Amino acid sequence: MGVFIDAVAGALGLCVGSFLNVVIWRLPRRESLSRPPSHCPGCNAQLRPWENVPVLSWIALRGRCRSCHMRISIRYPIVEMVTAALWTAAAVRIGPHWELADFCVFFAVLVAISGIDLDHQIVPSRIVYPAAGASIVLLGLASVLEHRERAAVDAVAGGLVGFGLLFLIHVIQPRGMGFGDVRLAGLIGLNVGWLGLARVGVAMLGGFLLGALVGVGLMAAGRAGRRTRIPFGPFLAAGAVLAVLWGGPLVNLWLNQG
């Protein structure tokens, strides 16, 4: 049963990843997510059904539009494969429990926000607020159906901790921490907190460490300076994934060393 759920999660993740590509491209431009149908941004040729198959269509088309031969970014299949991998990992980590639906939605949201932040350096509230509402509903249902009231309390506390921590940094250094990141931290804390409050620390610390390492690496390579703005959303997202999938062992390792 577990293998079946993992496989279904991966297949659905591929399809959702295809939709996330639409979200990443259209939402910052305030375009409809449903109209017009998927099309080439270069020549506006509408994609045929077989050209919308996740990953395989990109390979079959050799990464180019069939009409104008404009190059199709490799990011499209990468987003699809990453989403599929995250949904599979969530199914393996969470198992056949009601909160699995929430963590799949949560991972999809992190992928969309990361792509948009990389492109436009914004964390859209139009994604964060509905995602927070969905998490409250899904985790609330899971707490009732799974009889996990303590997990629900930890989730709320985690959301407050995540939001409060980055809000404090935003107040101290507003140019270094956008308010979109503050909202995202609250969403991350809400979801990661369900698995344990200590994991919220793993998520935040992991995000900051990854951001610092990449920032130092870019400066060492001459690709960025001390005042270069680097999107922080993807690092927060990576920290959240780290906390969800491997937060337990990391917390135990830290406690044992202490």
Q: Which residue has the tokens 């922080």?
A: 232
Where do the DSSP E strands lie in 180-234? none
* pLDDT top residue among 34 and 112: 112
Amino acid at 247: G
Domain residue spans of the chain: 1-96, 98-258
Under 8 Å CB-to-CB from 222, ≥6 apart: which residues? none
pLDDT at 219: 87
Q: pLDDT tens-digit profile of 144-176?
A: 999 999 999 999 999 999 999 999 999 998 887
pLDDT at 246: 94
Contact 50, 24 (CB under 8 A): no
Confidence check: pLDDT of 98 > 60? yes
Structure tokens at 121: 């350096």
CB atoms under 10 Å from CB of 208, counted, come to: 16
DSSP 44-98: -PBPPGGGGSTTHHHHHTTTB-TTT-PBPPTHHHHHHHHHHHHHHHHHHHH-SST
Confidence check: pLDDT of 225 > 80? no
Looking at the DSSP bridge assignments, the partners of residue 178 are none
Q: What is the pTM of this model?
A: 0.94
Alpha-carbon distance of 45 to 215, in angstroms, equals: 39
The confidence band for 15, taking pLDDT boundaries of 50, 70 and 90, is: very high
Contact 148, 97 (CB under 8 A): no
Alpha-carbon distance of 245 to 201, in angstroms, equals: 14
The confidence band for 125, taking pLDDT boundaries of 50, 70 and 90, is: very high
Confidence check: pLDDT of 23 > 70? yes
